[in-house]
Amino acid sequence: MDIEQVKKLAQLARLEVPESELASVATEMGAILGFVDEIQNVQIDASSDVVGATNIFRSDVVGPIIPVHDLVEVAALHQDHFVKVPKVIGE
Amino acid sequence: METITDIQKRIQAGERILNIAKEYEAKARADTRNIFREVFNDIEIQALAAEELIKNGKATAMTGVPIAIKDNILFEGHEAGASSKILEGYTASYDSTVVSKLRTAGAIIIGRTNMDEFAMGSSTENSAYGVTKNPIDETRVPGGSSGGSAAAVAAGLAVVSLGSDTGGSIRQPAAFCGVVGMLPTYGSVSRHGLMAMGSSLDVIGPFAHSIEDARTVYEIIKGKDAYDSTSIIIEPSGKSLKKLAVPKGIFAAGGVDTEVQQNFESILEKLKGEGYTIEEIDLPHFKNALAVYYVLMPAEVSSNLARFDGVRYGSRVGEGTIKDFYGDTRGALFGKEVRRRILLGTYVLSHGYYDAYYNKAIAVRTLIMQELRNAFSSYDAIITPTTPTPAFTIGEKANDPIAMYLSDLFTVPANIAHIPGISIPSGATSAGLPLGVQLLGEQGSESQLFAIGEEIERNR
């Protein structure tokens, strides 16, 4: 893991990493990836599906709902029934 | 320290719940160990509601019992922050299912407890609001991530508490603080209203002074929930072969404290005295669970924490386009460990690495699940120490992520395999630090684990 890779990941994750931390983050991530690399040595012959995973369905019925206002008012910026964000189109 | 039964006796003797609740509120407010993020302001109102239940003949085992909840569990109208700056000031818009069930049962929710930020850590040192001190030895960590909930019970500030366990976050702090901590079967307790960390791993469970109290809380919070489609109705299982298995070679890798090993062996001797057969079992991939965990968990973290972007919850940092303030908000308000795991998760899920890491980890997970399930055809439970060491000192592992991760070596396999586990106090080191042993059982074998746990309780 090098500094350029960390910068690229930070961009993908929408997570600003200060310049001063890039080197230490790269070192620590490298160490963790070194640790998890032991899974590469495990021989797999079974199917890789998660055991017992099944789909769950429910009927589409109207139940009690949380008022929109209660959910919107916890947003950083909001107006009336809306969460406020800068213009996205044209970015 | 009072148990649920002690509280029931006080109520039956005619004492007002209001007095009991106020007594616990006062103790929690006077705490100097940073156990609570907040002691709630409506304890009196909750106590009066509990008294109404008794008056109306609707009391339950939990009515009037003071309980603390981890700071990642929602309680309507109360702040919840996962001990993170990014959620500062966030107030829950609804009740989590566990809180709703506890309130219906008449429990008094006295406050929210400190934790590692978004449940990422093994010591509470990753809380944005400072470490919690272990009530048994204040120079040491209480474990984590549910360290505040474990400490609240250990210090007698709450009778029982709730935590969440993704890789050991209930069982490890329970062992460090000398209390019972339980990881129920994956899906047996609704996670509606729990802030998600690793969705294929997270389970809510109780801390208590006794197995009996842990069972009482578990019986109230469990059950299928329409609001959580991963919740299931548990089919009770478990055998009574009186046979326990110890994974072969768990002490061979090193890193296990001598006193932990001695204490574990003394517990095994006592169980043999109770008629248990204890055998070593070959689980060749048990040791790979931690590596699998550190691929799958960060991957799930990077997805689950994408929702914290300065738009819908908490605070926002920076201006300009969403691209600018997303990065600024998340970079400034997430702590170091959270940022590290998001980046790691982004890496293992990215093009070119997905097969080598994420898919490979899923395949090894399947292998571990099958291996453990096979083991339970011949044994009632697997038994291990809960942790390789007793509680470590504050700061000891703070700058060494992998050393910190290794404290979950014995607890992680249960989350990987979706099986239940319980940590039971098993004694103390010569310096007086609590130790715990862990029982792991097949899915739905909670009753079996409680029963074996009670044998350990009687014999420790």
User: What is the per-residue pLDDT across A13-48, written as a single tens digit (0 to 9) for each?
Assistant: 999 999 999 999 999 999 999 999 999 999 987 555
Within 10 angstroms of residue B138's Cβ, the number of other Cβ atoms is 12
Cis peptide before B145 (omega within 30 of 0): yes
Distances in Å between the Cα of B170 and the Cα atoms of B202, B213, B396 are 11, 15, 21
Q: How far apart are CA B450 and CA B452, in angstroms?
A: 6
> B340–A13: do the CB atoms touch at under 8 Å?
no
Strands A82-83 and B381-385: unpaired
Give just the sign of the alpha carbon dihedral B114, B167, B457, B161.
positive
- Angstrom distances, CA of residue A6 to CA of A12, A16, A17, B401, B429: 10, 10, 8, 17, 43
**Lookup: tokens for B287:** 């040791």
CA distance B165 to B205: 7
Ordered structural domains, chain B, with CATH: 4-221 (3.90.1300.10)
Any catalytic annotation for residue B27?
no
- Which of B169, B190, B407, B426 is flagged as catalytic? B169
Pairing of the two strands B180-183 and B421-428: antiparallel
Testing the interface with B: which of A7, A28, A56, A88 to mutate, by most B Cβ within 10 A? A28
Residue A47: the pLDDT is 58
Residue A49 has pLDDT above 70, yes or no: no
| Percent of chain B as helix, strand, coil, to the nearest 5 | 40, 15, 45
Helix, strand or coil, per DSSP, at residue B437? strand
Nearest CA in chain B to A15: B327
pLDDT along chain B (460 residues), means of 10: 98 97 98 98 98 97 98 98 96 97 98 98 97 98 98 98 98 98 98 97 98 98 95 86 95 88 97 97 95 98 96 86 90 96 97 93 94 94 97 93 89 97 98 98 96 92
Nearest C-alpha neighbor of B166 from the set B195, B131, B139: B195
Q: Is A12 on the interface with B (CB under 8 A)?
A: yes
For residue B194, give the DSSP letter: B
| Arithmetic mean of pLDDT, A59-80 | 89
How does strand B108-113 pair with strand B36-39? antiparallel
Q: Does A35 touch chain B (CB under 8 A)?
A: yes
Q: What is the predicted pLDDT for the residue at A58?
A: 85
A62 and chain B in contact, CB less than 8 A:
no
Euclidean distance between the first and the last CA atom of chain B, given in angstroms as a whole number: 18
Q: Which of B344, B348, B370 to mutate to test the interface with A (most CBs of A within 10 A)?
A: B344
Contact of A90 with chain B, judged by CB distance below 8 Å, is answered with no
Report the residue of chain B nearest A48, measured CA to CA. Answer: B363
The reported pTM is: 0.96
| DSSP H or E segment with residue A53 | none
- Identify the burial level of B42 via C-beta atoms within 10 angstroms of its C-beta, where 0-12 means exposed, 13-18 middle and 19 or more buried: middle
Candidates B96, B100, B145, B190; catalytic one: B145
Give the Å distances, CA to CA, from B80 to B111, B194, B204, B306, B355: 10, 10, 16, 18, 37
Specify the pLDDT at position B393: 97
